[in-house]
Structure 1
Amino acid sequence: MIIRQARIVDPEQNTAFAVPAIVLSVIVFAYSVNFGPLSVLAFYACWLAPFVMAPRILLGRPGSALLLLTVPFFFALSVLWSDAPGTTLRGAIQYGITFFAGLVAARIISAGNLALGGTIGGLLVLAYSAASGGYSYDYIDGDFAFNGAFSSKNQLGYFATLAILFSAALVWMFRSRRAVQALAVLTAGVGIVMLWMSDSATSLLSAFAAFAAIAFMGVVLTLAPWLRRAVVFLVLTGSVAIAFVSLRLGAFDALLAAFGRDSSLTGRTYLWSQAIEFGAEKPVLGIGYNAFWTHGRPAAEMLWEEFYITARTGFHFHNLLIETYVGTGLVGLALVATLCLLLFVLPLGAALGQGGVGSLMLMSGLSVLFLVRSVAEVDFITPHTVGTFLVAFVLLRLFDHNRQVRHAAHQARPMRQPRHPSLGRWSGITT
């Protein structure tokens, strides 16, 4: 049977491929440890095959994709100075493929199909956790909570948040058919229950922030273009002022108390201080990507023991930038901080443009979700994770959108005759 290329790479025609591909990816991101290497190979094949079939997906407009690939390239380059080169090389290759897959998906998957695939995948992930999971003691947060089939309650809360977000997109942003909306409502309900049972403060706060960003984007895109800049400026400055005053009045401590946390963030500040000390030993380039948490390293063994990580794996410094600093130093820190800055700036730039309301609302929600989570998690600097895949997807999608808007605006500008027609050519474009 011959499959037309458009059925795979054309966002307008590839729903039959796109939705199962996203479902598979979400399941692999959640449970690759449970299902083994074959599931990871299936994920690789799923996203590398479209690129092999049609390299123009990325090579046709390579600029922004190459810019984003700077981060995985530098992580791979760190093998040259890593004190655990084997671990660094393996991790960097896996991270690079995951990130690359997100870039491929950004060019061939519509936002609606992403939401549908994320909803179905999220429901399956949560259903599996509900059926086979249980409660465990979290030594970081200091309490018992339902963690499903994950090793951490925060991971369960993370996937529950994504399931709710994608489900809401189907109902609220893309106005799907009734059968799909019914599925979305079911998934959102399961997600809310799982999010509540996980008792993950990070997941709850990031969910609230994501939906606030979605609502903000939805309102801004309804305004006239001339009014958007003023609204965005006022909201940003007002938010900064409110945050500053709230901190001075002790609102942060009150928020922590509401979630049953203390000012040490239940051990995270200690982890951060230790990480900064370790990172200061090789501050410029770090010790190598993914090289810190290796068996036999005294500092890692000490922290595993202090936090009762008996498996001696799956642990991190619970902060995206600090984890990056330890592994790849100030250079890697600058690159990953740039990704964070883009997650903030690109949605704002899109808000001032035209078109794609539903898509921009979803991309904005995901951007803010990962920005908020970066304070306490390391979602998009690790391989085989939904964060790495989605951040690559969101950033390239927003780059492409903003580029198209600028191009359309350029084409729409009327041409004017030069003051000296005898020159025989156009002299410029009016603003």
Structure 2
Amino acid sequence: MQLPSQDIHPTSRLDSAAQFAFPFVTFLGLTLSPGFGTIAAVFFILPSIVLIGLKARSYQIHGRIEWPGLVLLFIMPSVFLASTFWSNHPLLTFKLSAEALVSCCVVYILTSTIRLKTLITAFFFAQLISVGASILSGKTAIIYETQQAAYVGFYGSKNYLAYAGLVLFILSVAKAGISQTVLSRALAYVGVGLALITLVLTISAGAAISFFVIVLAYCALMVVRLVHVSARGQFLLALFLIALSVACLAGLVFGDENGLTGALLSAVGKDATLTGRTDLWAYASRLVERNPLFGIGYQAFWVQNDPEPEALWDAFHIPTRMGFHFHNQFYSTAVELGYFGVAVTFFYVAALVVTTLRNVMLHQNALTTFLFQLIVLTMSRIYTEVDLLAPFSIGWILTLFVSAYSFKLDAKIAPVPKNPTPIQYPAAYRAQN
């Protein structure tokens, strides 16, 4: 790829402020979308429309997303849109597929104009405000299974708020890593503290497990950093084998639901069915058998007034009759998109895991670690939550940003020689500045 240095223009303070403002408003809308719906979605989309309207060169960072990133960016909404042709509710599927496609376009526009460092800072402040306001609101809800009061804030759900806290934690660590002033670093530590408080107040066992996995990944990366780059592949394989052995040993020790497993589940308000999740999975398996290849269409199951979802809402005490799912990414995908959708989802997730892991092994820094940890967070939830199907869900949008930035090439500002020659930027060079 050739990126002539004379095309790069310095930005004014006003332009720099705009570079921050556009993603800040976008992310504020994204993080508040679970509680504010349409209004938040407008805030998510509007900045990108303004960016297109301005068409100002000062808002452009020259560089482009390589084709693997573009494939990953648009592969999921393409499958969503295709399912319109066989959906049980084609109009609903088309509408929500179009929304998913719009969200991908927003990510494409932002990643084509905003540096990753600026984007992290903007998202950090948006997340800090939304999570902080949710905690200060004092809004709680009673957990049906345990009758405990858990914080839900403006998100309306303890699980959504807990997830927002996990995202804030990862953002705060990344912000601390890229900060160049004491004040900026202090704000990042405030974010870490608020994230930990959020995890305690939401009483979410799933979030606690995800937090443990994230911290474990940070520790592993610290150890890997001590290993020479040429030996990191073998070291990673050794770590994987050790982790696999520990997991097998844990299965033998905790495998009896009447022993230690039962005690641990009871301590976090769960039972052997994971508060009904295994029952949901069994029900989803029976649904998949009816349409195994392509499913019933994107977002075509949880539709009000359809008898089957109505029965599940009633059985699981969901009076709002919305915001519910099968609590497993692959079961949910199989119901809506069949085995074909599961294969595409597996390819999508596997590509992100391999790409971010390779990047952090070759170029370990705050930015590659940030992208890698977002995927670690997604993987820690993939068997109990559904992050990759909702059009404006935080989890899916974050994976889209990872898809784009992991394959983005940027030019560096450099003096222009008298007789400039094109500079070749290797594929391994990522947008780190």
Per the normalisation by structure 1, the TM-score is 0.84
State the partner residue of 1:388.
396
CA gap of 1:34–1:357, structure 2 versus 1, over 3 A, is: closer
**Partners of 2:217 and 2:426 in 1: CA distance:** 21
**Partners of 1:394 and 1:68 in 2: CA distance:** 9
CA gap of 1:218–1:293, structure 2 versus 1, over 3 A, is: same
**1:289 aligns to 2:289 (yes or no):** no
State the partner residue of 2:282.
273
RCO comparison, higher one (Cα < 8 Å, 6+) = 2
**1:316 aligns to 2:317 (yes or no):** no
Percent identity (aligned): 25
State the partner residue of 1:32.
33
State the partner residue of 1:372.
380
State the partner residue of 1:181.
185
**Deviation for aligned residue 1:151:** 2.3
**Partners of 2:37 and 2:267 in 1: CA distance:** 39
Matched-pair contact (CA < 8 Å) for 1:87–1:291: yes
**Partners of 1:231 and 1:244 in 2: CA distance:** 20
Secondary structure of the 1:203 match is helix
Matched-pair contact (CA < 8 Å) for 2:65–2:408: no
Unaligned segments of structure 2, at least 5 residues: 1-6, 410-423
State the partner residue of 1:148.
153
State the partner residue of 1:427.
none
**Partners of 2:79 and 2:305 in 1: CA distance:** 25
State the partner residue of 2:103.
98
Secondary structure of the 2:150 match is strand
Q: 1:242 aligns with which of 236, 246, 250?
A: 246
**Partners of 2:288 and 2:229 in 1: CA distance:** 46
Report Cα offsets for 1:33-77 as digits up to 9, x if no partner. Answer: 654534423321323554674899897744430344121101011
State the partner residue of 1:360.
368
- Counterpart amino acid of residue 152 in structure 2: N
Matched-pair contact (CA < 8 Å) for 1:64–1:399: yes
State the partner residue of 1:73.
78
**CA RMSD of superposed structures (Å):** 3.1
**Partners of 1:337 and 1:73 in 2: CA distance:** 15
**Deviation for aligned residue 1:256:** 3.4
Secondary structure of the 1:168 match is helix
State the partner residue of 2:351.
342
Secondary structure of the 2:290 match is coil
State the partner residue of 2:175.
170
CA gap of 1:67–1:157, structure 2 versus 1, over 3 A, is: closer
Query: Paired residues, what number?
Result: 401
Q: 1:298 aligns with which of 292, 295, 307?
A: 307
State the partner residue of 2:122.
117
Which has the larger displacement, 189-198 or 114-123?
A: 114-123
State the partner residue of 1:421.
none
- Counterpart amino acid of residue 149 in structure 2: F
Unaligned segments of structure 1, at least 5 residues: 409-431
Per the normalisation by structure 2, the TM-score is 0.83
**Partners of 1:226 and 1:284 in 2: CA distance:** 43
Report Cα offsets for 1:127-169 as digits up to 9, x if no partner. Answer: 3212434221234676431211222101110111111221122
Matched-pair contact (CA < 8 Å) for 1:221–1:351: no
